[in-house]
Chain A
Amino acid sequence: QVQLQQSGPGLVKPSQTLSLTCAISGDSVSSISASWSWIRQSPSRGLEWLGRTYYRSKWNSDYALSVKSRITINPDTSKNQFSLQLNSVTPEDTAIYYCARTSGWFVFDFWGQGTLVTVSS
């Protein structure tokens, strides 16, 4: 059974960097049939896919246009996890952040527990 365990701070100051980690058990971040995404949810924006990382003979990433200039998603093969970094945050980035797996045709079949991140001074 795949499990995704999220960790990271719940409070970030405006203009700073939001950093979260998603530890994977039951699968590999390097799996050639999987991709690993970050998704956030807020009352104003609903569910919003932020981006993904995946390995297909080399590492790749795709990012949502709304955050493309500020986001980085990186794999960490030594710890079998992946991370989210969102730079220059504002209060509009306040949301519950989720990590999720896609495997083959099963899009977002496993999710992390969610992390409420508040952007406030």
Chain B
Amino acid sequence: SYELSQPPSVSVSPGQTTSITCSGDKLGDRYTYWYQQRPGQSPILVIYQDTKRPSGIPERFSGSNSGNTATLTISGTQSVDEADYYCLAWDSSTALYVFGTGTKVTVL
């Protein structure tokens, strides 16, 4: 089955830039989505189709996807960005959605 791997945690200082990676076999050949989940809340879509932001998502969130790795970048990180982040891709061979393992972002 298809798997997506993320680092368990990253730390960042306020105002700095942080990047979260999502790794999977030939991930660049499929669209990747990113979700933010604050404690006790439902996830929120922050990036779709690799690079696009839904309306209402701040411009400091950006995405890229190439080769075996997709990346979510938060520029000028704020304390409100402290949350868990999950990537997602569609596995066309099995017609299933696959979530990444999740990354906890801590703003120090």
- Measured between alpha carbons, how far is A64 from B94 in the docked complex, in Å? 9
Tell me if A82 is interfacial: C-beta within 8 Å of chain B: no
Chain B positions within 8 Å of A64 at CB level: 96
> Of the candidates B45, B52, B101, which one forms a contact with A46 in the assembled complex, judged by CB atoms under 8 Å apart?
B101
Chain A nearest CB: distance from B57 CB in Å? 11
Of the listed residues A64, A108, A109, A113, the one surrounded by the most CB atoms of chain B closer than 10 A to its CB is: A108
- Provided the pairs A46-B99, A47-B102, A62-B96 are in contact, do residues A106 and B54 lie with their beta carbons within 8 angstroms? yes
Closest approach, in angstroms, between the C-beta of A95 and any C-beta of chain B?
13
Bin chain A's interface residue count: 10 to 19
Q: How far is the CA of A48 from the CA of B95 in the complex (A)?
A: 14
Q: Which residue of B lies closest to A48 (CB)?
A: B99
Give residues in B with beta carbon < 8 Å to A: 1, 31, 33, 35, 42-45, 48-49, 52, 54, 86, 88, 90, 94-99, 101-102
Q: Hey, which bits of chain A sit against chain B, CB under 8 A? A: 37, 46-49, 62, 64-65, 98, 105-109, 111-114
B96 contacts across to A, CB distance below 8 A: 49, 62, 64-65
Q: Are A113 and B88 in contact (CB under 8 A)?
A: no
